[in-house]
Structure 1
Amino acid sequence: MPKTNPGRFFEDYRLGEQIEHAVPRTVSGGERALYHALYPARHALTSSDEFARACGLARSPLDDWAAFHVVFGKTVPDISLNAVANLGYAQGRWLAPVYPGDTLRAVSEVIGLKENSNGKSGIVWVRSRGLNQDERVVLDYVRWVMVRKGDPAVPAPDPVIPELKPALSVEDLVVPEGLDFSSYDFGLAGERHRWGDYEPGEIIDHTDGVTIEEAEHMIATRLWQNTAKVHFDATQREDGKRLIYGGHVISMARALSFNGLANAQLIAGLNGGAHANPCFAGDTIRAWSEVLEKGKTAAPGVGAIRLRLVATRGGAPGALRDGVGKYLPDVLLDLDYWAFFPI
């Protein structure tokens, strides 16, 4: 009997299937330090225990995208080990902070299946949840991924495409218990711009750029225990290149967005996302944001802003698609998310 796991192929998934992912992981300050070393991450709430306590939290939580990567990495061996590409995200919510010392595990449900017209691959939709040691859901999200077929002769399943919200509302967001921005220290945070200073339609050029190196991408992907073959094995692609993990691009763009969005302290919701074009070592990532929507929460001093975060290899801020609606070739990431701001 084979002892190794070749990963699942498209025909191995069943609608409604519940998947318990291995292996639980206890996070520590080491993940925080390495995350901040890999990306120019410097939002105050996830950098300083004292700043976090002044904002009503017990201490500084792990960066929201770091928590996402840990949960995402748990799902890879069962969902995307044989993936051609991760295609998109929707209905993501951060439901509770993750602190050093917490133990995270992940579970997923298959909510959609559709074979591609070439008969060689198909799209799998899953709803994944991250749970801590108290069985509290700290994160949930939907993603869809293109997965190879192991045997093209296997008949296609009846197509089921899940209905997903185009965007979360402010009412869907969960404010961390105790969060209070009424005495927020803008000087320590690094910028004076508050919730009221942003207007829908505004474009923010985050100015800086970072060139992706092969070594740092490998460290990051291993840190999140992401075992997808296309990120490690250059023979998996015809061009002989290792594909940069999309989460690496997300975190890099989020870190670059500090310049202009330093007070977007916590990620609250993930409305949608697309890895528009592949990213490879040697690419220089730049970022811009568009303000889409605003809302207030019931928490003291806490507002929410819906943002589009775009990572590119170049091009003018605000440039996203061509005349027929296709992503421009330099666009790497188009991410629609909610963040909590001080009012």
Structure 2
Amino acid sequence: MPVSKTNPGWFFEDYSIGQVIEHAVPRTVTSGERALYHALYPARHALYSSDAFAQSCGLAASPIDDLAAFHVVFGKTVPDVSLNARANLGYAEGRWLKPVWPGDTLRSSSEVIGLKQNSNGKTGVVYVRTRGTNQHGETVLDYVRWVMVKKNDLDRPAPETVVPDLATAVEPADLVIPEGLDFSSYDFTLAGEPHRLGDYQIGEVIDHVDGVTVEEAEHMMATRLWQNTSKVHFDGTQREDGKRIVYGGHVISMARALSFNGLANAQMIVALNAGAHANPTFSGTTIRAWSEVLDTAETDRPGVGAIRLRLVATSEAGRAGELKDESGKYLPHVLLDLDYWALMPV
């Protein structure tokens, strides 16, 4: 009987602590990624839209959008980490370490840092630390995520449980500011809003007002763009209802783009503290967003401060500030709860 040459993906029992997975198919990004990203989302932060604006802020040119770089790095990992996943559960300790420029070639590797079989014996949680590197071997992005993965051989004994101790947030001192970034001559008119770091108060909730209805073709195009092969995004037979689940990263980028209205000057995402895809998103859902200011911090760069934000994406039923019920469970209209640091002029 011939040996199959196809890859069914990894199952929970295939992972072991300390295992390092080098993910296939490096990807050279171009300005085409930016054009498609801005076509898929209402993304218009000035630093990622204009070479001239980026140069006025001390950079050589406009980098690739931070979340576009994240999606490319993330997409490489899917065949080996989440092809057979039931759910992508969370993120922690994420940092953007270097800008990604058109012409850079990105690749990904992941280390297994935690394993925990679920009580049903049919699935388990896999924790990985993923690093995205460029053609020079420099790490551009580093983050932890954990996923619930199906078990294929139900008779295999459960591995020893290892749950990593993860930081609740990246400390401001550990944020990496791109070399040369300088907001001392920042043009608020061209950026689109006058609000600087000192205008935001901890605890303030910002309703981003706008909404975008997710279309089937667009979310599948986006997921193909990032070479994310997870079956649940494309194959309607994976669910009894025949629905394709929208890639969680599509929801992240949509919510981030919507946050421009009220946070136009939160220019660069530099850390991902935590995140949860609270409820699945399907085509036809209208995504809205609101943000809560969690913290602010100074940096050592001219005119550059940092703002810590909770970004929440909801369906059309959601209202700004509503997140969980009395028992602490996410409300059914909450799609995304994301905690991140961004750079903003002081």
The question of 1:155 aligning with 2:160 is answered no
Letter in 2 for 1:3: K
Aligned residue number for residue 3 of structure 1 = 5
Aligned residue number for residue 202 of structure 2 = 200
Alignment of 1:229-308 (within 5 A): 229-308=231-310
The question of 1:327 aligning with 2:304 is answered no
Which whole-Å CA distance do the structure 2 matches of 1:40 and 1:134 have between them? Answer: 32
Which whole-Å CA distance do the structure 1 matches of 2:241 and 2:70 have between them? Answer: 29
Alignment of 1:169-180 (within 5 A): 169-180=171-182
Write out per-residue CA displacement over residues 98-138 of structure 1, whole angstroms, 9 at most, x where no aligned residue.
Answer: 01000000010000000011000000000000000110000
Write out per-residue CA displacement over residues 141-161 of structure 1, whole angstroms, 9 at most, x where no aligned residue.
Answer: 000000000111111001100
Structure 2 residue ranges without an equivalent (≥5):
none
Alignment of 1:46-61 (within 5 A): 46-61=48-63
Aligned residue number for residue 72 of structure 1 = 74
Aligned-residue identity in percent: 75
Write out per-residue CA displacement over residues 279-332 of structure 1, whole angstroms, 9 at most, x where no aligned residue.
Answer: 000000000000000000001100000000000003220000000000000000
Query: How much has 1:253 moved relative to structure 2?
Result: 0.1
Which whole-Å CA distance do the structure 1 matches of 2:334 and 2:223 have between them? Answer: 21
Letter in 2 for 1:85: A
- What TM-score does the superposition give when structure 1 sets the normalisation length? 1.00
SS in 2 for 1:326: coil
SS in 1 for 2:95: strand
Aligned residue number for residue 342 of structure 2 = 339
Which whole-Å CA distance do the structure 1 matches of 2:318 and 2:16 have between them? Answer: 42
Query: How much has 1:238 moved relative to structure 2?
Result: 2.1
Alignment of 1:9-48 (within 5 A): 9-48=11-50
Which whole-Å CA distance do the structure 2 matches of 1:2 and 1:114 have between them? Answer: 29
Which whole-Å CA distance do the structure 2 matches of 1:232 and 1:299 have between them? Answer: 44
Aligned residue number for residue 316 of structure 1 = 319
Query: How much has 1:59 moved relative to structure 2?
Result: 0.3
Query: How much has 1:239 moved relative to structure 2?
Result: 2.0
Letter in 2 for 1:265: Q
- What TM-score does the superposition give when structure 2 sets the normalisation length? 0.99
The question of 1:89 aligning with 2:98 is answered no
Which whole-Å CA distance do the structure 2 matches of 1:336 and 1:172 have between them? Answer: 16
Over aligned residue pairs, what C-alpha RMSD do you find? 0.5
Structure 1 runs (4+) greater than 6 angstroms displaced: none
Letter in 1 for 2:345: P
Tell me the number of residue pairs that the alignment of Structure 1 and Structure 2 aligns.
343
Letter in 2 for 1:76: V
Write out per-residue CA displacement over residues 23-60 of structure 1, whole angstroms, 9 at most, x where no aligned residue.
Answer: 10000010000000000000000000000000000100
Query: How much has 1:70 moved relative to structure 2?
Result: 0.1
Aligned residue number for residue 135 of structure 2 = 133
Which whole-Å CA distance do the structure 2 matches of 1:325 and 1:230 have between them? Answer: 28
Letter in 1 for 2:299: T
Structure 1 residue ranges without an equivalent (≥5):
none
Alignment of 1:112-131 (within 5 A): 112-131=114-133
SS in 2 for 1:281: coil
SS in 2 for 1:155: coil
